[in-house]
A and B are shown apart, each in its own frame.
Chain A
Amino acid sequence: MQNFRTRTCFTVRIATSLFAIPASLAFAGLASAGELTIVIAEVQEPDGKLMIELLPSAAAMAGDGASTAALILPAALPLTRVTLGYVPEGRYAIRVMHDLDGDGELARNLVGMPAEPWGVSNDAKGNFGPPSFDDAAFTVTEEPLSVEITLNN
């Protein structure tokens, strides 16, 4: 397991394969799953990678629990798009950061505010703090879903 730990916001644990959905789920046929397309808009810099997490809970968003899926993608301007084939039905939030300096962490300014582009699903804005899971949450069903997130540059 590789750990990409950032101070509070982005703790990403990914399995050796890019898609961390256990293979067993795809065969078991137990839970319903749907196709999820993630579109990241306003990607402005070609350098660095986009780090995307699919988070199943507020706890996972706060760093207390694993993400359902975690992806590292090269930046495509102005939109970067990726599709996950089998996401179990449920409520999720997506968080994305553009790792411009390539250190695997969300850079922070002098007083701890994000200093690299980032975004969350529903384009949820924090109010005097980071956005909450509830503000960012959306639901995956059997129907294919496309979710667009705009980077705050």
Chain B
Amino acid sequence: MHRRKFLQFSIGAALSAGLPFRAFADTPDPWLADFHAALERKPWLLGFHGVEQSSFAANDLVFEGKWPEALRGTLYRNGPARHEVGNFRYRHWFDGDGLVQAFRVQDGRLRHRARLVATHKLTSEQAAGRALYPAFGSSPPDPEPVTSSDVMNPANISVLPHHERLFALWEGGSAHELDTDTLETRGIQTWSAESRGVSFSAHPRVEADGTLWNFGYASRTGLIVLWHIDARGKLVKTGVVPASPMGMPHDFLMTSRHLVVPIAPLHYDDASNANTFLDRHEWQPERGTRLLVVDKSDFSRVRWFDMPAQWIFHYGNAWEDEAGVIRFDAARADDPGDLFGWLRTVMRGEVEVGTAMRHSSYRLDLGTGQVVETVLTPELETEFPAVDPRVAGQRYSQVLVTSRTPGLPDHVPGFDSVTRLNVDTGRAESYRYPDLEMAEEHLYLPDRRHAPERHGWVLGTTLDANAGITRLNLFAADRLADGPIARASLPYAMPFGFHGKFVHER
């Protein structure tokens, strides 16, 4: 596994993928043809194929092994799924319309539902029979103007169950509310008149008592937005902090006293005439990563800190001690090269996994401004960190990650294992799935009869690229290496998704 040096990605990518595709209705899109040809030879591309139909249902699916009686509830997931619209195939994995899934265990059997989120984008494009709007990393032919973010909102990154409601999350615009049972779309969620349509990230942080904190960002105006919502779903306050140049912050940190929004130097340039939102960004590592630290009780109290530039999509958790030291963990890379590399080219059937991900723990001293990073997994690549929801923002020691073992060839993307890490000691325990059973995010499900981080389960989906189906896998959290204690197979493959949440039944 080699590290790829990050060179001139934006020019190359813009030339190959960012230019608008001029086509007549009957001209085949070369990306579409190339992907389908590649899929015949490369089964590991199955997760990037996408769906055409709007909904899926499967009932009464049997578990191998035994699903514990004490564990009742629903796993919701979201991810980009409608990768082809009419004659056009999106040029980036992040672009397709969101497909929300619900895996519900009832009487020891699995019920599966999936439904595309009925956003403005989806409904107008289905009516028109073609892609109408620019996307994060694609520029379809003859696009309509984008008058507000929600016009192009694909609602495709994550889900948020909160106070008996369910939302599909993007990051550039609003959350969409869904019916918790049918997954039908109820509409755009507006928390207040002043915040209508404003960016609401896909990674809100929810405290054990249900209080919700989130951030958002506005690229053109260079603003970080902050949200404080109470446990009953009522907006308590918002805030804005000028931050120029803006980056592309995807996730953030919450402690008992502060919110921390790290902004890596993938900087937005409004004057850029690049054709996609992604290509209007330039990686400027010499400027370092800035950390915005905000007082939870008063969003006007902010401080800025600096650390060396690196690229992070996801943080596991964070906590703050009495001395004002914040400790957190992240799945990190040296640069965002993959955003412009295989995350694009995979849509054409080409994969060469480049930038290495590592899991690190960090220590930010609010008094001295010093930031210290410790790499926990020098050999193992990691992503999708998850912790016991009861330790959110509190002292913790365990993080769950999907992982990629060394030796997996560069032309096969994704993850092959699930790992539990101790962020203090670096001790790791893994389970590696069989060949070409490709792992998605795995969540930690607490066993509420026990204290946090002691006993629980691990739940995650895999795509078996050989069998062409998606599976749901349950582990005992402290015996990951033993393998799943229960698993069920869907009668179909779902596209690779991003994030989910488990809702315990009352």
Using a CB–CB distance below 8 Å, which chain A residues touch chain B? 109-113, 115, 125-129, 152
Q: Which residues of B contact A115 (CB under 8 A)?
A: 193-194, 196
Q: Which residues of B contact A111 (CB under 8 A)?
A: 198-199, 218, 221, 223, 225, 240
The answer to whether A126 touches B147 (Cβ under 8 A) is yes
Q: Which residues of A contact B148 (CB under 8 A)?
A: 113
Q: Which residues of A contact B194 (CB under 8 A)?
A: 109-110, 115
B140 at the interface (CB under 8 A from A): no
**Cα of A152 to Cα of B151 in the assembled complex, Å:** 14
> Which chain A residue lies CB-closest to B238?
A110
> Which chain A residue lies CB-closest to B192?
A110
CB < 8 Å neighbour of B146 from A110, A113, A128 = A128
The answer to whether A109 touches B195 (Cβ under 8 A) is yes
Beyond A109-B195, A128-B146, 14 additional pairs, beta carbon < 8 A: A109-B198, A110-B194, A110-B198, A110-B225, A111-B218, A111-B221, A112-B221, A112-B223, A113-B197, A115-B194, A115-B196, A125-B145, A129-B220, A152-B147
11 pairs across A/B with beta carbons < 8 Å?
A109-B197, A109-B198, A110-B194, A110-B195, A110-B238, A110-B240, A111-B223, A111-B225, A112-B221, A126-B147, A129-B220
> Which chain A residue lies CB-closest to B218?
A111
State which residues 203-232 of B face A: CB under 8 Å: 218, 220-221, 223, 225
Q: Which residues of A contact B225 (CB under 8 A)?
A: 110-111
CB < 8 Å neighbour of B220 from A109, A110, A125, A128 = A128
Q: Which residues of A contact B218 (CB under 8 A)?
A: 111-112
**Cα of A111 to Cα of B195 in the assembled complex, Å:** 8
The answer to whether B240 touches A125 (Cβ under 8 A) is no
Q: Which residues of B contact A127 (CB under 8 A)?
A: 145-147
Q: Which residues of A contact B198 (CB under 8 A)?
A: 109-111
**Cα of A111 to Cα of B223 in the assembled complex, Å:** 7
Q: Which residues of A contact B199 (CB under 8 A)?
A: 111
**Cα of A152 to Cα of B199 in the assembled complex, Å:** 20
**Cα of A110 to Cα of B149 in the assembled complex, Å:** 14
**Cα of A24 to Cα of B340 in the assembled complex, Å:** 62
> What secondary structure prevails in chain A residues at the interface with B?
loop
CB < 8 Å neighbour of A109 from B145, B146, B147, B196 = B196
Distance to closest chain A CB from B217 (angstroms): 9
Using a CB–CB distance below 8 Å, which chain B residues touch chain A? 145-148, 193-199, 218, 220-221, 223, 225, 238, 240
**Cα of A113 to Cα of B196 in the assembled complex, Å:** 10
Distance to closest chain B CB from A82 (angstroms): 26
- List the 9 closest pairs (A to B, CB-CB), nearest first: A125-B145, A127-B145, A111-B218, A125-B147, A112-B221, A110-B198, A110-B195, A110-B194, A109-B194
**Cα of A125 to Cα of B132 in the assembled complex, Å:** 15
Distance to closest chain A CB from B242 (angstroms): 11
Distance to closest chain A CB from B261 (angstroms): 15
Distance to closest chain A CB from B347 (angstroms): 23
Q: Which residues of A contact B221 (CB under 8 A)?
A: 111-112
Q: Which residues of A contact B220 (CB under 8 A)?
A: 128-129
Distance to closest chain B CB from A118 (angstroms): 11
**Cα of A32 to Cα of B351 in the assembled complex, Å:** 66
> Which chain A residue lies CB-closest to B193?
A115
Q: Which residues of B contact A128 (CB under 8 A)?
A: 146, 220
**Cα of A109 to Cα of B221 in the assembled complex, Å:** 12
**Cα of A42 to Cα of B197 in the assembled complex, Å:** 21
> Which chain B residue lies CB-closest to A129?
B220
Distance to closest chain B CB from A123 (angstroms): 11
Distance to closest chain B CB from A63 (angstroms): 17
> Which chain B residue lies CB-closest to A128?
B146
The answer to whether B145 touches A126 (Cβ under 8 A) is yes
Q: Which residues of B contact A126 (CB under 8 A)?
A: 145, 147
**Cα of A131 to Cα of B301 in the assembled complex, Å:** 36
Q: Which residues of A contact B223 (CB under 8 A)?
A: 111-112
**Cα of A145 to Cα of B195 in the assembled complex, Å:** 39
Q: Which residues of B contact A112 (CB under 8 A)?
A: 218, 221, 223
Most chain-B Cβ atoms within 10 A of its Cβ — which of A110, A115, A127?
A110
**Cα of A48 to Cα of B197 in the assembled complex, Å:** 24
**Cα of A127 to Cα of B277 in the assembled complex, Å:** 12
Distance to closest chain B CB from A54 (angstroms): 23
Distance to closest chain B CB from A108 (angstroms): 9
**Cα of A152 to Cα of B223 in the assembled complex, Å:** 24
> Which chain A residue lies CB-closest to B224?
A111
Most chain-B Cβ atoms within 10 A of its Cβ — which of A111, A112, A126?
A111
Most chain-B Cβ atoms within 10 A of its Cβ — which of A115, A128, A129?
A128
Distance to closest chain B CB from A107 (angstroms): 9
> Which chain A residue lies CB-closest to B217?
A111
**Cα of A112 to Cα of B145 in the assembled complex, Å:** 19
**Cα of A144 to Cα of B185 in the assembled complex, Å:** 48
Q: Which residues of A contact B238 (CB under 8 A)?
A: 110
**Cα of A125 to Cα of B152 in the assembled complex, Å:** 14
Q: Which residues of B contact A152 (CB under 8 A)?
A: 147
Q: Which residues of B contact A125 (CB under 8 A)?
A: 145, 147
Distance to closest chain A CB from B196 (angstroms): 6
